[in-house]
Structure 1
Amino acid sequence: MIEHIELFFKSIFIDNMVFAVFLGMCSYLAVSKKVATAVGLGAAVIFVLAITVPLNWLLDQYLLQPGALKWLGPEFADYDLGFLSFIMFIATIATMVQLVEIVVEKFSPSLYNSLGIFLPLIAVNCAILGGSLFMQSREIETLGLALNYGFSSGIGWFLAILAIAAIREKIRYSNVPAPLRGLGITFIITGLMGIGFLSFGGMLTGGDEEGEPSTEPTVQVEQVKTEDLSEFNSTQHENVAENTKTVD
């Protein structure tokens, strides 16, 4: 349970697709002029990531990894189809994006028109493919963790585009210097937001059981100090006795 919670918050804040690895920046900058449009695209990205990352995890575990085909028989145990990772991942992503496009066009034509070409371009959004590739490189062990990673990565991208869209709507009425208007001030705000998101890294630092100091060295030190003090006291008593005899 702790592993799921840590992965959830780490994927949203610390390993944010936009602020940490700069993936999906084209859509992030182009579709963040209005909050309503940003919400629609962010929700679509969450859905696509939450579906494609677990599906690609299954493909990776039971088809692409070295020895993944052993479930077909011992003669297939030595096969390695890892070179097909990009093709299989992109095929899965393209299929799910087409499904999202059909659903959005059916139930929200206004959102479909406002998103325009950027809705089908989710298929080539590097943040979507990056989620599957990071899932593969980080060796996520279970399907539940893969689902968690895809969903939380989508939430992180959604929060990023929603925040910048809200800010860009407000700064329209601000007196921004002429050289910084447009993408200039947007990049500056993005950098400041990235610093804010990365600052959440402190919430994941905790005590390490293996790194906890042991009490045994302290006991030994205390014993050594006690022995030295006893020897010192006995020496002082002897010196005092000798000085007394000398005086007498």
Structure 2
Amino acid sequence: MENLISIVIGAIFINNIVLTKFLGLCPFFGVSTKISNALSMGGAVTFVMTFSSIITWLVYDQLLIPFNIEYLRLVAFILVIATFVQLSETIIKNTAPKIHQSLGVYLPLITTNCAILGIVLINNIQQSYTLLSSTISGAATGAGFTLALLLMAGIRERLALANSPESLRGLPLAFIAAALLALAFQAFSGMSI
């Protein structure tokens, strides 16, 4: 149980996929303009990360390793991720068309989101997690991704109202805010669980 708690705390704060590993920056900057968009994207990414972690673990451990075809892992992992992205896009499109429209091109781009492929590779290759640990890691990493998006969206909503120099408005100020946010999360790296 202690190991699972350390996986959760580590994935959300210490090894945050966006703010310490710098993966998934495209949707991080593209969708973090409003809290509602950030929450929707975070939920979609968490869904895809969690279920992709489960299925890729099963594919890798029960299919690729026994048949000695581990070299197909990237193709298999991307296929699994693409399937869950299509599923989540269909669900959002049918249940919340306004959110689907506001997320725009960033929703289908979850397929190529390196954060999702990164966590799947970390779970299966680098950490060699069990199925339960891999599932917890995927869900916690999704929660960390959502936290980063929500923090950035809150900051950007406030910055949109601030009186800032013309040359810094928009993305330049977002880059500065993201750098400071990442620096704040680096403080967690000294923690040991």
- Residue 134 in 1 paired to residue 119 in 2? no
- Counterpart residue identity of residue 53, structure 2: V
How far 1:179 sits from its partner (Å)?
2.8
Q: Equivalent residues in 2 for 1:19-168 (5 A)?
A: 19-65=19-65, 68-69=66-67, 80-168=68-156
What TM-score, normalized to structure 2? 0.95
Residue of structure 2 equivalent to 1:177: 165
Taking the aligned partners of 1:178 and 1:105, their CA distance within structure 2 comes to: 36
Partner of 1:9: 9
Which amino acid counterpart does residue 82 of structure 1 have in structure 2?
A: E
Moved more, 23-32 or 188-197: 188-197
Aligned to 2:178: 190
- Residue ranges of structure 1 left out of the alignment (5+ in a row): 70-79, 206-248
Equivalent residues of 2:57, 2:134 under 8 A apart: yes
Q: Which has the larger radius of gyration?
A: 1
Identity of aligned residues (%): 38
Q: Given residue 105 of structure 1, which amino acid in structure 2 is its aligned partner?
A: K
Higher relative contact order (CA 8 A, sep 6+): 2
Q: Displaced runs of 4+ in structure 1, greater than 6 A?
A: none
> What is the count of residue pairs matched by the alignment?
193
> Residue 74 of structure 1 aligns with which residue?
none
Partner Cα distance (2:126, 2:161) in 1: 44
Q: Residue in 2 aligned with 1:226?
A: none
Tell me if structure 1 keeps the 8 A contact 2:123–2:129. no
